[in-house]
Amino acid sequence: MTEAFTTLDLLAAGWFALAWLGYALVVEATPLARRTLNARMDAYRVVWMRRMAHREIRIVDANIMGTLQNGSAFFASTSLIALGGALSFLRSPEEALRLFSALPFASPTSALAWEIKVMGLAVIFAYAFFKFAWSYRLMNYAAILIGATPDALADDEIDASEMAGRAAAMNRLAGAHFNRGQRAFFFAVGYLGWFLGPTLFAVATAGVLLVMARRQFGWTSLEALEGKI
């Protein structure tokens, strides 16, 4: 495998892995995670569930859950289509190599390296599928917990608050897996640069990392969430 790739290829692949894992740690397991857009929206999920417990008729909540589930189902099916598309490149690597070698800035690559790159892309889409599919399942569980939450006004308010907390926790967990699947999609865009060469791979990865960081920590989205714009 090492003979199929240059030192620059290995460095670019290492940078890609470091960028993905480092970004995931920053937005999920560091003090900075509390400042992300995802964390702010998780807080609103808790608010939503608390207010849901005080609604006797929960048609609005059911509609919102249906919208979230449809989003997860859409991305899960898209992941399978992308996975199939990636694996189709393994059927005729010679033709694909000729096509990509004719593109500007493309670096020459061997058939073995091409197949390994394609398998890496397939793994990314497979990972995304599992995340989106599990997110969909967790949203089903959250919907069940919403249905099991008693009316805080007519029944036991303490029990209603406890069930609302469980529904919020399940909802937040579903959102976390959805975010990880979407993160895989974003980094897959950067990964595509590797098919043209290690330099473009590293630059594309940096570009994706910058875009994702701006969307999580950008002032515009946070100000919109706080009603400042």
Residue 29 lies in a domain: no
pLDDT by residue, tens only, the chain of 229 residues: 556 788 899 999 999 999 999 999 999 999 999 889 899 999 999 999 999 998 888 999 999 999 999 999 999 999 999 999 888 878 766 666 666 666 666 666 777 888 899 999 999 999 999 999 999 999 999 999 999 988 877 767 778 889 999 999 999 999 999 999 999 999 999 999 898 889 999 999 999 999 999 888 876 777 777 776 6
Residue 10 lies in a domain: no
Residue with tokens 């959102």, as numbered in its chain? 175
Residue 70 lies in a domain: yes
Number of domains in the chain: 1
Residue 180 near residue 198, CB atoms below 8 Å = no
Residue 151 lies in a domain: yes
Residue with tokens 């590797």, as numbered in its chain? 194
Give the separation between CA 15 and CA 204, rounded to whole angstroms.
11
What distances in angstroms separate CA 122 from CA 5, 12, 31, 76, one per listed residue? 19, 18, 33, 14
Question: φ and ψ at 155, to 5 degrees?
Answer: -115, -155
CA proximity to 129, closest of 78, 194, 86, 84? 78
The predicted structure's pLDDT at residue 197: 86
Residue 22 lies in a domain: no
Residue type, 216: Q
Residue 127 lies in a domain: yes
Neighbours of 61 (CB within 10 A): 20
Q: Where are the alpha helices (DSSP H) in the chain?
A: 7-29, 37-52, 59-88, 93-101, 111-148, 157-191, 198-217, 219-225
Residue 64 lies in a domain: yes
- Identify the three-state secondary structure at position 104: coil
What is the domain extent for residue 175?
Answer: 36-102+109-225
The predicted structure's pLDDT at residue 212: 93
Residue 5 lies in a domain: no
Give the separation between CA 214 and CA 67, rounded to whole angstroms.
26
Name the pTM for this structure.
Answer: 0.89
The predicted structure's pLDDT at residue 202: 95
